[in-house]
Structure 1
């Protein structure tokens, strides 16, 4: 199976294995780092996932068994960056733990997708500052075998139209290529602006995916009947 067919599982059993929280066959990142979980789409896998209570998956469509409720479902796409032209950016700075409050504030303003207090530990994040303020950033998230996901691409509204997002995607891609990995990314299928940008940069559609959150409700239902 290709690593990008099960990117969360591949990452959590490979480069990101030290971050993995396990319950039987179910794996997930620490909740303060990332929302993503992975488990087999069979009876045993769903049973093991009960230990997490709530799980968020990225991949093929699933049908939740009895006792589970789908609480979020977003159609998405997975893009392959094999053909992307990459180049370092002299203005991009590496962001660190001290920058996290500013990064979280930028994410809150721009909503690029999940970015949490410890997401920065998943890979390298680059930013561009203007007058000392962080106005754009992008970085790495999941790292399936041989691949690295570009994520949290965002630009403050007042700094848009200057190509900062494109520059940062290329710069993050350059670092990924330098260590021998291939860039890829996920995006919401209806985010037309982002998809145009990624295709302009050389990304190609690999497949459609679903981003889904499931909550285990059976235990709560049983408790309410007591």
Structure 2
């Protein structure tokens, strides 16, 4: 299976193996890093049972891949459609104004995410890769960074701009700046957006991004 069809699993068994919590063949990110579960490309009943044990009763986890039948060991809490996009060749552009964000920036990052809701971002999400931001008068007004790293690819995520600073092209600048770092390593940038997020879809397609897969996020809880 193409690694992009199962990015969490191929990241957690590849470049993010040092972050993975494991049971049998199943992997997941720590809860303060990301909500994602990684199942093998063709999960067996034993894999699903191991996943339920790994997640634990009363906890939820997100599965990101094309729609997959869910056995009775889990109940589905929610699901929604995603579009997966690949960046065009040589998309990245180094931007001298952006700053690399570190641990001291996490409170500001969490505040910006709470205001803009670009998707899951937690206290240790910054451990997944490089995050870049733009500040004005000391305030973090826009950011983007790297999330899942299936071998040969790096996902751009947490693309967000403060509402007071939209319409200035900041998201595009950060997309290109993050992509430049990814391309420098020889990897291919890709990203996801909600299937009904027409604003993001228009932006990505205007920049030359192309759809690679139609994905589903399924939020699961062990029974």
In 1, the alpha carbon distance for the partners of 2:222 and 2:159 equals: 32
In 2, the alpha carbon distance for the partners of 1:119 and 1:59 equals: 20
User: Which position in structure 1 is the counterpart of 2:12?
Assistant: 12
Larger Rg: 1
Structure 1: stretches of 5+ with no match in the other structure: 218-226
Residue 43 (1) aligns with residue 49 (2): no
User: Which position in structure 1 is the counterpart of 2:174?
Assistant: 168
User: Which position in structure 2 is the counterpart of 1:193?
Assistant: 199
In 2, the alpha carbon distance for the partners of 1:92 and 1:172 equals: 10
Q: Which residue of the other structure, out of 123, 127, 134, is the alignment partner of 1:121?
A: 127
In 2, the alpha carbon distance for the partners of 1:193 and 1:42 equals: 38
Pairs within 5 Å for 1:77-92: 77-83=83-89, 85-92=91-98
Pairs within 5 Å for 1:59-208: 59-83=65-89, 85-208=91-214
Deviates more, 1:203-212 or 1:77-86: 77-86
In 1, the alpha carbon distance for the partners of 2:37 and 2:89 equals: 29
In 1, the alpha carbon distance for the partners of 2:31 and 2:78 equals: 17
Deviates more, 1:84-93 or 1:172-181: 84-93
* Partners of 2:38 and 2:63 within 8 A in 1: yes
CA RMSD of aligned residues (A): 1.1
TM superposition shift of 1:42: 2.9
User: Which position in structure 2 is the counterpart of 1:216?
Assistant: 222
**What is the aligned residue count?**
217
In 1, the alpha carbon distance for the partners of 2:89 and 2:44 equals: 35
Deviations, residues 47-83 of structure 1 (Å, cap 9, x unaligned): 1111113331100112221232100101111111143
In 2, the alpha carbon distance for the partners of 1:143 and 1:67 equals: 28
In 1, the alpha carbon distance for the partners of 2:176 and 2:96 equals: 12
| Other structure's SS at 2:69 match | coil
In 2, the alpha carbon distance for the partners of 1:10 and 1:101 equals: 29
User: Which position in structure 2 is the counterpart of 1:34?
Assistant: 34
The normalised TM-score by structure 1 is 0.93
Deviates more, 1:50-59 or 1:132-141: 50-59
List structure 1 runs of 4+ shifted beyond 3 angstroms.
Answer: none
TM superposition shift of 1:84: 5.7
Deviations, residues 170-218 of structure 1 (Å, cap 9, x unaligned): 000001001111100011111110111111222100110000111111x
